[in-house]
């Protein structure tokens, strides 16, 4: 996705979120800095395309959120820092978002909620609030996409980790996907459970099986986010 097209589509939404959260607008270069992050060359899935998909999914659940503008802002920042060799990407992304809210005069409680929402995208803890549930389901919507779209996503993840030894990548990826499959439910909201849970389980099972056989999922293919 081209940056001009992305900004044209979402700029009004960006400004509306800030107007709801803070008495002053962020510096104009914040949006530019954020979108540049999502365009880093080592990214193949965690790109503007993924952010665009997340924001579009959120628009369908906007009425269900308690604080929809906080959820939106958390989505804008949730993959702002993405270094495949680091373990603190979510922490650094959350810290950036929290600092931005406070710099614009937002309330401490709101900044902390945005921070906490981004931290649950580590997917290693249960969400504490309905808004966190929505954010997690939006972030994981790709798991319940059509088989073709999901397989493209898996290939893009493989390309992001192409510097990792293939056997190590496959073992770790299988562990991650099996963790999602072993959950009593993948999605937290009724909407996503009804529309994507069954497909997500089918996709995960198929990918786990493929990772157990294939030499590497890192072929350079192009796919469309969902």
Look at residue 4 in the predicted model and tell me its pLDDT.
83
Look at residue 98 in the predicted model and tell me its pLDDT.
98
The whole-model pTM stands at 0.92
Opening angle at CA 115, ends 183 and 101, nearest 5:
150
Torsion of CA 83, 138, 26, 108, to 10 degrees: -90
Rounded to whole angstroms, how far apart are CA atoms 42 and 116?
A: 26
Domain ranges for the chain, please list them.
Answer: 3-139, 143-211
CATH fold of 3-139, please? Answer: Hypothetical protein af1432 (1.10.3210)
CA distances from 86 to 36, 200, 215 (A): 19, 27, 25
Question: What does the block give as tokens for 201?
Answer: 């389980």
Rounded to whole angstroms, how far apart are CA atoms 79 and 52?
A: 12
Look at residue 213 in the predicted model and tell me its pLDDT.
82
Q: What is the pLDDT of residues 8-65, one digit of tens each?
A: 899 999 999 999 999 999 998 999 999 999 999 999 999 999 999 999 999 999 889 9
């Amino acid at each position: 996705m081209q940056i001009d097209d992305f900004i044209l589509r979402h700029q009004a939404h960006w400004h509306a979120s800030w107007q709801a959260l803070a008495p002053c607008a962020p510096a104009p270069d914040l949006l530019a800095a954020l979108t540049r992050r999502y365009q880093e060359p080592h990214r193949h899935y965690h790109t503007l395309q993924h952010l665009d998909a997340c924001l579009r999914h959120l628009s369908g659940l906007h009425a269900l959120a308690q604080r929809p503008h906080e959820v939106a802002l958390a989505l804008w920042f949730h993959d702002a820092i993405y270094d495949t060799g680091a373990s603190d990407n979510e922490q650094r992304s959350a810290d950036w978002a929290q600092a931005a809210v406070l710099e614009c005069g937002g309330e401490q409680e709101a900044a902390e909620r945005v921070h906490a929402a981004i931290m649950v995208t580590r997917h290693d803890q249960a969400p504490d609030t309905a808004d966190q549930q929505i954010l997690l389901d939006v972030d994981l919507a790709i798991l319940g996409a059509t088989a073709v779209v999901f397989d493209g996503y898996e290939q893009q993840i493989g390309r992001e980790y192409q510097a990792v030894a293939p056997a190590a990548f496959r073992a770790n990826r299988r562990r991650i996907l099996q963790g999602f499959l072993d959950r009593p439910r993948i999605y937290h909201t009724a909407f996503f459970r009804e529309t994507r849970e069954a497909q997500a389980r089918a996709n995960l099972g198929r990918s786990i099986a493929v990772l157990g056989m294939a030499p590497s999922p890192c072929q350079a293919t192009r796919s469309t986010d969902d």
